[in-house]
């Protein structure tokens, strides 16, 4: 009788396990309807975990992560379907990597360009939704919306690449915006060499401005633009300045995170 009871118990146990397995599988299948795939969920989770595991400094970055005589090239206000590809061509010609500070709606409108920038090994930077240079006078709720909405737009357009920096329009940082950006994985990014390419001067003037400012800076971050207007002069000046910088012994890195 004991033996028979053991056999019957085993049969009952196996049957129960099978029923539980079916119920669990059904529940899992139901829970995944309309939701992200396992790979997608793991990708999002790993990106959030990576940000949480690596705190970002909330001070404004200027120095380069590359030792020695080094520059950071930064490109603002794009992506633009006319000028961004031309800037990318020049950077590729001289094997230079840059940080592209993108406006959220521009990134949303041109996801192919955002992906192209990321695929070429350049870094992404949040330059807000509206490029409001008076952001430092706005309430925290407005700053938060401008920064976080742009970050989502850029990362969605990039197809997974992380936005690693935040640059306030016109340098209008606040202690709140810097901490908010850092808490979301973005190091605030400044500049200390302004090419003034947005002022509409000649290529020679842009070139002279950058050459004149570089010797007085340590680990400088140089500001150019690929959006917001006709950037033909920017493209031409980069085509002159990058080989000149290399001839002066400069290397190229990314801002410190």
Exactly one of 76, 80, 197, 236 is catalytic; name it.
Answer: 76
103: enclosing H helix or E strand: none
User: Cα(165)–Cα(157) distance, rounded to whole angstroms?
Assistant: 16
80 is an active site residue: no
Kindly list the distances between the CA atom of residue 6 and the CA atoms of 10, 13, 16, 19, 73, in Å, as whole numbers in the listed order: 6, 10, 15, 20, 76
Residue in 218, 244, 191, 154 with CA at minimum distance from that of residue 73: 191
Exactly one of 110, 127, 131, 225 is catalytic; name it.
Answer: 225
The SS3 of residue 222 is: strand
236 is an active site residue: no
Bridge partner residues of 222 (DSSP): 73, 193
What secondary structure does DSSP assign to 153-200, as a single string?
HHHHHHTS--EEEE--GGG---HHHHHHHHHTT-EEB--SEE--GGGT
The SS3 of residue 243 is: helix
Query: What amino acid positions are annotated as catalytic residues?
Result: 76, 225
């Amino acid at each position: 009788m004991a033996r028979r009871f053991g056999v019957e118990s085993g049969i009952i146990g196996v049957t129960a396990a099978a029923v539980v397995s079916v119920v669990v599988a059904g529940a899992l299948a139901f829970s995944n309807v309309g939701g992200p795939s396992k790979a997608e969920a793991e990708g999002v989770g790993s990106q959030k975990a990576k940000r949480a595991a690596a705190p970002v400094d909330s001070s404004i970055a200027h120095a380069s992560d590359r030792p020695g005589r080094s520059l950071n090239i930064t490109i603002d206000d794009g992506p633009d379907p006319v000028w961004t590809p031309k800037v990318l061509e020049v950077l590729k010609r001289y094997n230079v990597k840059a940080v592209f500070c993108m406006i959220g709606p521009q990134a949303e409108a041109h996801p192919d360009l955002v992906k192209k920038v990321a695929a070429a090994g350049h870094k992404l930077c949040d330059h807000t939704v509206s490029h409001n240079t008076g952001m430092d006078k706005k309430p925290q709720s407005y700053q938060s919306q401008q920064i976080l909405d742009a970050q989502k737009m850029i990362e969605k357009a990039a197809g997974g690449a992380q936005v690693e920096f935040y640059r306030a329009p016109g340098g209008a940082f606040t202690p709140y915006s810097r901490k908010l950006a850092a808490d979301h994985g973005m190091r605030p990014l400044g500049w200390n060499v302004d090419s003034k390419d947005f002022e509409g001067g000649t290529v020679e003037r842009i070139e002279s401005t950058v050459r004149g400012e570089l010797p007085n800076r340590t680990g400088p971050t140089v500001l150019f633009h690929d959006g917001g207007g006709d950037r033909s002069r920017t493209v031409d000046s980069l085509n002159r300045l990058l080989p000149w910088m290399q001839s002066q012994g400069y290397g190229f890195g990314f801002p410190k995170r």
